[in-house]
Chain A
Amino acid sequence: MNAKVKTLDILPKGKKARVRKLHAKGKLLHKLLDMGFVNNVEIEVIREAPLFDPMELKLHNYHLSVRKSEARLIEIEEKMNEEN
């Protein structure tokens, strides 16, 4: 599997990735964990809001919206055509 490290805010619509690391502290870290951004979880970008921010994600089989400023703190590893 070929992967490159980047952050969630630049992941394009329809792409999937796995969470690698959270660069957050305190309350924000806890909130992200509670919403399911735990290590290795798969995230799919569903869409951006009409004004490009926030973005809608799918993880643990539910939908969540996140501002890009927060998404920037989530380090991901993009899945490269795992299905094929």
Chain B
Amino acid sequence: MKKIKVALAGQPNCGKSTIFNMVSGIEQHIANYPGVTVDKKTGFFTYNEHRIEMVDLPGTYSFSSYSLEERVAKEFIIDENPDVIVNVVDASNIKRNLYLTFQLLEIGIPVIVVLNMMDVAKRREIEIDSKKIAKMLNCPVIEATGSKGIGSEEIMQNIVNIASNNQQYEDFKINYEELEPHINAIEEKISSSTSPLNKRWLAIKLLEGDTSITEHLKHQFSNIEEDVKKEENIFHEKYDKDSPSFLASVRYESADIIYHKAVKEKKIGQETLTDKADKILLNRFLALPILILIMFLVYEISIVWGYKLTDYTWPILAAIKNFVIDILPPANLIDVPMITDFGIWMVNSANALMNYIPIFFILFALIAIMEDVGYMPRMAFILDRVFKRFGLHGQSTLPLVLGGAMVGGCAVPGVMATKGIADDRARMATIFSVPYMNCLAKVPFYTLLLGAFFKPDMALMMFFISTVTLFVALIVAKLLTTTVLKARETAPFLMELPPYHMPTFKGVIIRASQRVWIYIKKVVTIVLAVAIVLFAMLQLPGLNKEAEAKYEKSLDKALSSFDNKVKKSKYYEEVNTKEEVSELLNYYDGYRTKRMVATSKDSAKAIDEDYLALNESYFKFIKPKRDKEAKTVNKALRKLSTDRKRILRAIKNEKVENSLLGMAGRAIEPVTQYAGFDWKINVAFLSSFAARESAVATLGSIYENNKADDMRAEEAMALNSGYTPLHAAAIIIFMLLTPPCIATMIVVKMQTNSYKWMVFAIFFPVLLGIVLSSIVFSVGLINNWSGVEAMTYFYITIVSIALIIGLVPSKRINWKGGLQSKAQGQYNIYDKNLNKGE
């Protein structure tokens, strides 16, 4: 087996990924290029006794060093020295695509040109003489249609042929006319170079002012920079042109020559389908309504359909949970083994995350469709002007919408979707603003608080909550881009609006699955690790002796009351020991929980049969039917079950109160008191860090009173907490700004590639939240505001600030782009130390 390494290069929108999927099939790996957040896709396949490894380079318009993607692509060529470069070219846009092709041909590594999307070219009546192009470029040119699987055999054949030297590969040279003498002069200077790379290419790159190549050669030729400068100056004196512009011009002219000799377009100047569609989709008055409609549909489909899907997936998760509960040691009355508690806790944590997978899958599939269709850049085109004012970018639209522009989204896909933002500063700002959007899992928390404190004004409050977030996100973005992110690299807004394409089913499914898999691999695993720590913090140190005795006593009371009730029954023999009662109780509770999740008559029947088989004599106490004697036991049993649940809840609360987390909640009370938070709320916030859902559960259990009535959590909270609506408003404001959950933190780490920024993303919102909610609470207390008043003033203030920022034109900071001194270190991916880092 011979090994061949192939680099797949091409401009954005040339259909590179369809070619990649067509050739490499399913065996794909996704990683990052060392030290940066650019996806590195690698595919493996075997052809004709050769094992071929294909690396998908990032799509770039050029091969200079002026964007992260280009640097990454070149770094790969320099370091890995692939055997073949496969250059994918959009057949209906040959002229511009050849600009990159020439630069690849100059590297000196054999190139295979793949004319992709031939079907589109044919439909537009573009006639391409690919043999002629092959002759002019001196390399094989293959006609292909990636979306229909045409051309893959030929591509593999050519790769193997070139790599095994069956085909003579010839050097390709563009004649750079007036610049040639200078290229030769520099080539001369570096002729003794130890670099394996083509000398002429290096010389051209030096004249282009390519920083990475200059670095590459500097250690051998210390004054190479001055030499190049000299040549450039002579050239400039003579022709009044600078070498980068001149090189680009010659390349475009050469592309023009090839285009005119080998391509005939019959429909030139005619309206394409894309033009017609854009007339509507980008129309001054229709663009915005259509965009909102599309976003609404994405939302509707992913959240609504996703939830429908969870109806099918949730029973699976519930079954897993029940299975775990069944194999764990059962509780003995109120003595629950630690391992059982722990098992249930872990399954609950995992299920809370896994439950989102159907929604994520649909979301990721929809994003993939929008990417493939070509709507994404148009979305950025429509809204760029708004976002630019806040230091963001047109491309921030989708991440913010996914984060939850309406009722509730999720920051995880939102932050993941920031990957494509071309402007690095705006990308970072988007990453930090997405978590402020409405998180789906916060909704129950708001509902609980609104139900408890804002019954008459629920609709108004919900409107405030769901619309204030976007303004907060925008203000935060502005704040960060003018301060901590000031020195980050920016990029000019030059975005291609590619022709619309039909997405391929395979491509969409592959991409959606890959992203879901990343979520499972990275997020779920780490969250579970954190869940273990949290469990320990909630359980330890546990109950003291006094408390234990106290609960034993109340249990004894409940047991003797049960005993009194069933004494006269003829079945008393079966339930007159502690062990028997304990077993019966577990049997009864297990049956009740299983029946709760049974959705159909058939499944309910199956459970009945299971339990009948499990213990026939106990079954009559659960379903006594007409058996009067059993009915008595059943009634007593129900009472005992409620009593036991009450005691267990009380134990749990006392444990939480004395736990490490409870202590932490108390420890920060001096700070949080200004916002009106007592330790209970603090504990809820702390535990909600792992997964939002637990905030409601924690609060619910803390405020349940110990009388066994079925009062709802809202009522219990309103009655037992001692909070006023003003307290609740402060709590809501903090929750709006509160740190993203751990799952989000992990994707922030993935997208920023630094723990430092992850820590920042945790503490900055907490600080902001506590400051703002303290201000609202303290000022509200002095002025005797009601909760609704406080929220209204807060809302008006935030919206006003956002509007002022949006309407007052600001200076453009660091707009000329380029590397600022501060950002240099972060960006020099040639610094090998970085590659060994995180």
Contact = CB atoms under 8 A, between A and B. Distances in A.
Interface string B507-545: 000000000000000000000000000000000000000
Given A27-B66, A34-B64, A52 B282 contact: no
A22 B244 CA distance: 12
A36 B386 CA distance: 27
Contacts of A26: 816-818
B288 A50 contact: yes
Nearest to B90: A62
Nearest to A56: B497
Contacts of A49: 282, 287, 381-382, 384-385
Contact of A34 (B61, B285, B381, B497): B61
Nearest to B815: A69
B817 A36 contact: no
A29 B244 contact: yes
Contact of A67 (B64, B244, B382, B493): B493
Interface stretch (B19-27, B245-253, B358-366): B245-253
A28 interface: yes
Nearest to A41: B252
Given A30-B244, A33-B245, A35-B61, A51 B818 contact: no
Contacts of A61: 93, 95-96, 268
B211 to A, nearest CB: 10
A6 interface: no
Contacts of B815: 69
A28 B381 contact: no
A80 interface: no
Interface string A43-78: 000111111111010001111111101100000000
B495 A70 contact: no
B248 A62 contact: no
A63 B245 CA distance: 21
B451 interface: no
A2 to B, nearest CB: 24
A30 B384 contact: no
A50 B287 contact: yes
A56 B282 contact: yes
A39 B239 CA distance: 14
Contacts of B486: none
Given A28-B492, A31-B492, A38-B249, A51 B96 contact: no
A39 B64 contact: no
A32 interface: yes
Contact of B249 (A25, A39, A46): A39
A41 B328 CA distance: 74
Contacts of A60: 95-96, 252
A70 B386 contact: no
B257 to A, nearest CB: 14
Interface string B809-830: 0001001111000000000000
B664 to A, nearest CB: 48
A64 B497 contact: yes
B493 A30 contact: no
B494 A31 contact: yes
Contacts of B380: 65
B491 interface: yes
Contacts of A38: 245, 248-249, 252-253
Interface in B359-393: 377, 380-386, 388
Given A26-B817, A65-B495, A50 B282 contact: yes
Contact size range, B: 35 or more
A53 B629 CA distance: 82
B496 interface: yes
A51 B380 CA distance: 12
A32 B66 CA distance: 11
A33 B498 CA distance: 19
B495 A34 contact: no
Contacts of A31: 66-67, 491-492, 494
B248 A33 contact: yes
B17 interface: no
Contact of A29 (B67, B245, B278): B245
B385 A53 contact: yes
Interface string B480-505: 00000000000111111110000000
Contacts of A34: 61-62, 64, 66, 99, 248
Q: Which of B287, B383, B388, B492 has the most chain A CB atoms inside 10 A of its CB?
A: B492
B817 A70 contact: no
A16 to B, nearest CB: 12
Contact of B285 (A46, A50, A54, A62): A50
B284 interface: yes
A22 B384 contact: no
A66 B816 CA distance: 15
B249 A28 contact: no
B284 A54 contact: no
Q: Which of A26, A30, A56 has the most chain B CB atoms inside 10 A of its CB?
A: A30
Contacts of A30: 62, 64, 66, 244
B381 A56 contact: yes
A63 B260 CA distance: 20
Given A36-B96, A65-B494, 17 more contacts: A22-B245, A27-B816, A31-B491, A32-B492, A34-B64, A34-B248, A38-B248, A47-B278, A51-B385, A51-B386, A56-B282, A62-B498, A65-B377, A65-B380, A65-B497, A66-B493, A67-B384
Interface of B: 61-62, 64, 66-67, 93, 95-96, 99, 244-245, 248-249, 252-253, 268, 278, 282-285, 287-288, 377, 380-386, 388, 394, 491-498, 812, 815-818
The 8 closest A-B pairs by CB, nearest first: A33-B248, A34-B62, A51-B385, A63-B497, A38-B249, A27-B817, A50-B287, A67-B493
14 contacts: A26-B818, A27-B66, A31-B494, A32-B492, A33-B245, A36-B252, A49-B287, A51-B385, A51-B386, A60-B252, A64-B496, A65-B497, A69-B815, A70-B493
Interface of A: 22, 25-36, 38-39, 41, 46-54, 56, 60-67, 69-70
